[in-house]
Amino acid sequence: YTVSIPKGWATDNGVSAGTEVEFYPEGDSLFLTPVSEEERTEGTLDVGSLAGEELTRAVMTMYVSGFDIIALESSRITNDQRRTIRDTVQGLVGLEVLEETRDRVVIRDLLDSSELSIHNAVTRMRLIALSMLEDAVAALAEGDTDMSRDVIQRDDDVDRLYMVVSRIFRSTLRTPKPPRSSD
């Protein structure tokens, strides 16, 4: 098929003859967007004054905000800050520490978020939460401390899923893609 688009829109969006575009059905309309190279978004944060929970929240915020490469910098990153950063990275899906120097820690998201299904992740969160509720009640009724600890560990799994769902959701709001057929 041949499709004509307004010249002003094409110019504003860098579309010319031969440029690939994608169409997405949206109700009884079509949503058109130029195909763009997936850029890795980078963010830098001065962590000199951050520690503990505040540092954890800052890294999580950058992750959920969609930064693929996160550079944490300070005149000197302390051992406590490094420990907090490592613990935070382990609690987030797809992140890995790439570089670590005296004054800088670089974290990169190695996960292709387009391969993840929000629907599947939310369904998994729901199932884990329901089993946690059942086990928490049973642990309380039976006085089972081991089961209580297991419930707490599963809560960490739900938190990790929540963070990756939040990241994907925000990414989708920034650059809409068509829903996958399996969703």
Q: Is the pLDDT of residue 125 over 90?
A: yes
Tell me the H-state helices in the chain. 7-12, 52-64, 79-90, 118-142, 145-174
Q: Is residue 165 scored above 70 in pLDDT?
A: yes
Residues 97 and 150 in one domain: no
Q: What is the pLDDT of residues 129-164, one digit of tens each?
A: 999 999 999 999 999 999 999 999 899 889 989 999
Q: Are residues 63 and 97 in the same domain?
A: yes
Res 127: pLDDT? 95
Question: What is the predicted pLDDT for the residue at 93?
Answer: 87
Same domain, 18 and 72: no
pLDDT at 114: 64
State whether 32 and 80 are in the same domain.
no
Q: Are residues 120 and 104 in the same domain?
A: no
Structural domain includes residue 182: no
* Domain-located, residue 154: yes
Same domain, 124 and 160: yes
Q: Are residues 84 and 140 in the same domain?
A: no
Do 13 and 47 sit in the same domain of this protein? no
In a domain, residue 179? The reply is no
Residue 181 lies in a domain: no
Residue ending a domain, choose from 72, 87, 109:
109
* Number of domains the chain contains: 3
Position 183 confidence tier, pLDDT thresholds 50, 70, 90? very low
**Domain contains 125:** yes
CB of 135 within 8 A of CB of 95? no
* Pairwise CA distance, residues 56 & 111, whole Å: 20
**Is 69 among the domain residues?**
yes
One domain for residues 78 and 137: no
Asked whether residue 64 is assigned to any structural domain, the reply reads yes
The whole model's pTM is what?
0.68
pLDDT at 182: 45
- Can you give the CATH number for the domain in which 97 is found? 3.30.110
* Domain residue limits at 22: 1-36
> What is the mean predicted confidence (pLDDT) over 84-103?
92
Residue 26 pLDDT grade (very low, low, confident, very high; cuts 50, 70, 90)? confident
Side-chain-side CA neighbours of 55 within 13 Å: the count stands at: 25
Q: What is the pLDDT of residue 180?
A: 52
Nearest to 91 by CA among 64, 115, 117: 64
Residue-wise pLDDT for 45-79, tens only, equals 999 999 999 999 999 999 999 898 999 999 999 99
Q: Assess whether pLDDT exceeds 60 at residue 123.
A: yes
130 and 105 within one domain: no
What average pLDDT does this structure show over 114-121?
79
Weakest mean pLDDT among 49-53, 60-64, 111-115, 175-179: 175-179
What is the rounded average pLDDT of the residues 87-115? 88
